[in-house]
Structure 1
């Protein structure tokens, strides 16, 4: 019997999937409809049980079913899966962040049921999950401030005494059990007090920007007694990492009230479980630290932080910190790929580091005493590997793997050096679709070698087909060789899709990621157009029917393309940057943009040159803008500026706004991933297809 997970291998064995040629879909298979993309599910966070016999997995329902997440249990030996948690009627969020207790007798998870997000514990013996009743006496209550509005009323008949402190429930943001199960580290935001709620209800709700005293704090929970102990690390606490001995925690905190907009602001604190009131600041760790793990012997920390090379903010290296002499060593400096923003796993004396090399995501087996480029990559059967996980005994390994012909699949291996097999996790796709092998395309432009992925529809076997050029977000991002429902949908229209990784992309080293500094819309634009020329020369593509689309930085590049060339019949821009000046002043954070061109009022010419709006007087191509109204990354005003400019220039332009949608969620919905908005993704895809078909004369 052929499952959907093994269908790609079956088609290859039958000669039905050939990497160098487009072929008709096997009989009975069809490319997805727009409605079918509302029925895809996703899975994440596989967690191997302490005994190595089962996997805890988060599965998110399809958009059509509400996009709630639930926990599933996969039995490795029986190769069966069953749903563990179920969402009560009326709740919209589901259950998430499932983890094993170290003894394996129970699991923990977060769920918002009723008024609060709580930590739940579910016994593997069965029964109902039990919520921890976590309450604190709030340390912050703005309604009690001397100048609070409305002013506090006093009763002259009663003595002027302080109100009795009230215990208030916490909303848990994240948690982490200690390796011995003695503690659970809890991260929770300061709760709203009754007085603050009353003020909000009375509309005394003026917001003093960047002066909110509420923050996320760290607590230690005794899981047996339910006792909650505050830890004296100042908010905002962002993440924690337990020592294997369970006696110490590394806590990483961020500055309050948008401090990161002024520069890196992380601080690292060493907390002893025996003395949580006196944490010690690790001043040697940089302010760009992102997260860490401990060595098994507790003598080192391995942490991710900003690359030592000049690279965009968030481009990281892996470092080690020695508690013996407080020294720091860069373990991945000069690595020819990029770190994949997942923390490493210690495996004996080596580290397993998730990395991106070109269009592939895998794992590097790294010896901390040797350079990264001298290490050997771990071999996997799929091009993209994420969420690698094991247990303390390291008696098994699980991960999620995919490629252009392999939907996301849960894999298991006893050892990483041995062959893996796919586990029977819940099916993610609503049907078996034709699987088109991506084709890796490389070309050179202005001294650099580029890569892209080309997907050809079956029609290309007989005639030249239209070409859709897709530009990724970032710009510090990349397209990987993975499975994308949106690609399947576009191929079903009879169109080829070309996804490019121009300079500025990850996966090719720090210098490549930095090669577009102060040059947005310059050489990166020419990289893309050079790639277009390459595929036009090599493949059966119709030069008279080309379109371009992109989201975020891809939407920004779409704006540059609008003002630089008329080679495309239509352009779609999702959540773009259009004017660097206005975007810099209204986005949620500006530190990332500042690296590229500095403060725009100090570098006006650079900021304007790198604004798509600067080229709008040359615009002629029909343009479609898709924009979330609640976008804080690239705010609504950016699309509004482009819409007005193109409209006044007489260029055919349409703009569609999506209420409630922020930056990432709208992209997820359009790309065919589960979304709590039932129709926005469907609407976006429908408009894209109609827009392109009109431009192509179809």
Structure 2
């Protein structure tokens, strides 16, 4: 793909590309500098490109930089003129911005969501001019806990009474192909009585018994009448067919998914919203809404792989609406499917996949999978319009920041579009160098980034471990790598067994062996990098976040080869983490069941079990609001190492949950203005001290 456009590797060629569009800054080495810590507070991000019905414009979501508040806005890109302009603006005091942009079917306006005032609301903005129209969406509250017989504080009367319609918060929406109906997802609103309970501090939380949930409503785009659909709660997505039917994805309430997969899929005819039909042949592991075939006879979705693989590792399936039969379209595919972004084609379906270090798209049809090739190693947001007379996506690799592309057909010449630049300046390049090694019967891959100093002498190396463990590093533009390289340090990123991108068997190869062969894969990669490159073996550091932080803690108790180790949001004790994390189903697979039933396995795979052998200086970075790997995990490690006499530091960040803190550290836009900056500053100081700089 993109066969007629070459992103030139020479400085001259890259500057020519930059001259064509300001979306891609000239990355020539002439005067280019590595980013500073402050520079990483000034990166922006592109997401969710949407091609207009006439294929003349692209709607794209742009995130402001951390320094500017990280709010999202919608921009309009004119394809022929290759110009862009900001469409939506936030009100003073608004924190989130405008998001979830979608074209009206006639192309004359766009829809979006924004939290202006007390609620998240749906807006329609005419492109011919004028202000955005807000939909005043109110419903009769389906739930009012203040009227229950045992409600606190007691009321003189518990007789049911009609409550006036209450404004709802819209979580997502989907516009029908004819534009007449909008499927709206909204959580049950807080009633005046419930608000009174909260104000009076009668606010006990009965865990896993919240009767509120997200429901599906059908909004008449003209009359603004809201009709509830009779699908169960908790709805997490809906997708229209071209024939005007809805496929709805539902999560079971009361946190049932912590016991076993509990999703369900429902077919809804908007003409009869009270009689949805459950698609019982769709498994309970089915992910968010998929895609309809053009004729409406098939529905494509992702769900758990038929092979033994970690939860969330998916195959691509097709549901035949007439027979109810489900067919696995990706059985045996040696890559990893993303759960989102399916696009139905005239024949078959496109899915976003990772194969090795590339994230691309694969067409699945009767003839088997057909992998599309793009010039950039990483592709996201691949989208088209109903006529499929154009395609848009966001591409990047280690030397090219996120860039918006357009092609009139898949496989033809693609053009970079003039969307807002995501980097604030011209930064020096550090190309990713793929390396390979073998360990215990597996071929393992890694990406090595060498700083300019490596041309003169041996340099220190930071080993970076990805999250997951069902995750992987890809060849994408990464400000944090450039920041570390700017200090004269090489960076090695490895994809050990358990990583995605190499097939289900490879992803499952660390089952009941966390901290075992995956650790040895990484250490073998360290040896391979040192053997073939100017790396100083006496100046090694290791860092990781989430599973990467867990691996960092395993390394702490297994080897003293590293001078310093940094762990972000790690798992330290499998049993205590299992009992306090947000959801346990994912973890259960790795050691074959509940930890108290496999106590020896759980302890063997807990980094805390090696704390008595710890020696290396250790830095812990932890969000206080982390629900995935709660703060108690880092606090357990801190206490253990401190009592063992190991130099250890623990830094906690208020308000930060798991993913947002990671994003801020990596240099992505964050609503917290200084947490990422502080963490990077501490990381550099920690490694610099260990390396004697």
Q: Give the TM-score of the pair, scaled to structure 1.
A: 0.95
**For residue 187 of structure 1, what is the aligned residue in structure 2?**
185
1:687 corresponds to 2:682: yes
**For residue 61 of structure 2, what is the aligned residue in structure 1?**
58
Shift of 1:345: 1.1
**For residue 310 of structure 1, what is the aligned residue in structure 2?**
308
Which whole-Å deviations, capped at 9, do the CAs of 1:167-210 have from their partners, x for residues lacking one? 10000000001111121100000000010011011000010010
Which whole-Å deviations, capped at 9, do the CAs of 1:577-604 have from their partners, x for residues lacking one? 0000000000000000000012010000
Shift of 1:696: 0.3
After superposition, the CA RMSD in angstroms is 1.6
SS of match in other structure, 1:387: strand
1:271 alignment partner, one of 268, 272, 280: 268
Contact (CA 8 Å) 1:61, 1:67: kept in 2 or not? yes
Q: Distance in 1 between matches of 2:14 and 2:63?
A: 33
Contact (CA 8 Å) 1:396, 1:412: kept in 2 or not? yes
CA gap 1:671/1:449 in 2 versus in 1, 3 angstroms: same
Shift of 1:340: 2.4
Q: Distance in 2 between matches of 1:93 and 1:592?
A: 30
Shift of 1:376: 2.4
Contact (CA 8 Å) 2:11, 2:28: kept in 1 or not? no
Shift of 1:350: 2.5
1:204 corresponds to 2:198: no
Q: How does 1:616-631 map to 2 (within 5 A)?
A: 616-631=611-626
**For residue 18 of structure 1, what is the aligned residue in structure 2?**
none
Instruction: Extract unaligned runs of 5+ from structure 2.
Output: 16-26
1:524 alignment partner, one of 499, 508, 518: 518
SS of match in other structure, 1:399: strand
2:637 alignment partner, one of 638, 642, 666: 642
**For residue 510 of structure 1, what is the aligned residue in structure 2?**
504
Contact (CA 8 Å) 1:571, 1:622: kept in 2 or not? yes
**For residue 49 of structure 2, what is the aligned residue in structure 1?**
46
1:118 corresponds to 2:146: no
1:333 corresponds to 2:336: no
SS of match in other structure, 1:312: coil
SS of match in other structure, 1:260: helix
1:394 corresponds to 2:388: yes
Shift of 1:276: 0.2
Shift of 1:347: 2.0
SS of match in other structure, 1:150: coil
Contact (CA 8 Å) 1:8, 1:406: kept in 2 or not? no
CA gap 1:545/1:560 in 2 versus in 1, 3 angstroms: same
Q: Distance in 2 between matches of 1:199 and 1:281?
A: 37
Which whole-Å deviations, capped at 9, do the CAs of 1:137-168 have from their partners, x for residues lacking one? 101000000110001135xxxxx975442110
Shift of 1:342: 2.5
**For residue 484 of structure 2, what is the aligned residue in structure 1?**
490
Contact (CA 8 Å) 2:293, 2:345: kept in 1 or not? no
**For residue 582 of structure 2, what is the aligned residue in structure 1?**
588
Which whole-Å deviations, capped at 9, do the CAs of 1:383-429 have from their partners, x for residues lacking one? 01111000001111000000000100000001112110100000110
**For residue 19 of structure 1, what is the aligned residue in structure 2?**
none
Shift of 1:341: 2.5
**For residue 358 of structure 2, what is the aligned residue in structure 1?**
360
Q: How does 1:118-137 map to 2 (within 5 A)?
A: 118-137=121-140
Shift of 1:691: 0.2
Contact (CA 8 Å) 2:109, 2:125: kept in 1 or not? yes
Q: Distance in 1 between matches of 2:692 and 2:160?
A: 75
Contact (CA 8 Å) 2:29, 2:429: kept in 1 or not? no
Q: Distance in 2 between matches of 1:62 and 1:127?
A: 28
CA gap 1:273/1:57 in 2 versus in 1, 3 angstroms: same
2:77 alignment partner, one of 68, 74, 78: 74
**For residue 284 of structure 2, what is the aligned residue in structure 1?**
287
Which whole-Å deviations, capped at 9, do the CAs of 1:342-394 have from their partners, x for residues lacking one? 23212211322211100100011221x234xxx32112111011110000011
SS of match in other structure, 2:273: strand
1:258 alignment partner, one of 246, 255, 258: 255
Contact (CA 8 Å) 2:7, 2:375: kept in 1 or not? no
**For residue 374 of structure 2, what is the aligned residue in structure 1?**
380
Q: Distance in 2 between matches of 1:9 and 1:427?
A: 20
Q: Distance in 2 between matches of 1:361 and 1:58?
A: 20
1:577 alignment partner, one of 537, 554, 571: 571
SS of match in other structure, 1:278: coil
Q: Distance in 2 between matches of 1:434 and 1:98?
A: 34
Q: Distance in 1 between matches of 2:341 and 2:484?
A: 34
Q: Distance in 1 between matches of 2:384 and 2:123?
A: 23
Contact (CA 8 Å) 1:340, 1:361: kept in 2 or not? no
SS of match in other structure, 1:275: coil
Q: How does 1:461-476 map to 2 (within 5 A)?
A: 461-476=455-470
2:431 alignment partner, one of 406, 431, 437: 437
Q: Give the TM-score of the pair, scaled to structure 2.
A: 0.96
**For residue 608 of structure 1, what is the aligned residue in structure 2?**
603
Contact (CA 8 Å) 1:409, 1:425: kept in 2 or not? yes
Deviates most, 632-641 or 357-366: 357-366
SS of match in other structure, 1:572: strand
Q: Distance in 2 between matches of 1:376 and 1:286?
A: 26
1:33 corresponds to 2:29: no
Which whole-Å deviations, capped at 9, do the CAs of 1:478-535 have from their partners, x for residues lacking one? 0000001100100000000000000000000000000000000000000000000000
CA gap 1:659/1:176 in 2 versus in 1, 3 angstroms: same
Q: Distance in 2 between matches of 1:464 and 1:7?
A: 31
**For residue 241 of structure 1, what is the aligned residue in structure 2?**
239
Q: Distance in 2 between matches of 1:370 and 1:417?
A: 18
Which whole-Å deviations, capped at 9, do the CAs of 1:550-583 have from their partners, x for residues lacking one? 0000000000000000000000000000000000
SS of match in other structure, 1:555: helix
CA gap 1:120/1:336 in 2 versus in 1, 3 angstroms: same
Contact (CA 8 Å) 1:453, 1:500: kept in 2 or not? yes
Q: Distance in 1 between matches of 2:529 and 2:28?
A: 23
CA gap 1:6/1:350 in 2 versus in 1, 3 angstroms: closer
Shift of 1:10: 4.8
Contact (CA 8 Å) 1:452, 1:501: kept in 2 or not? yes
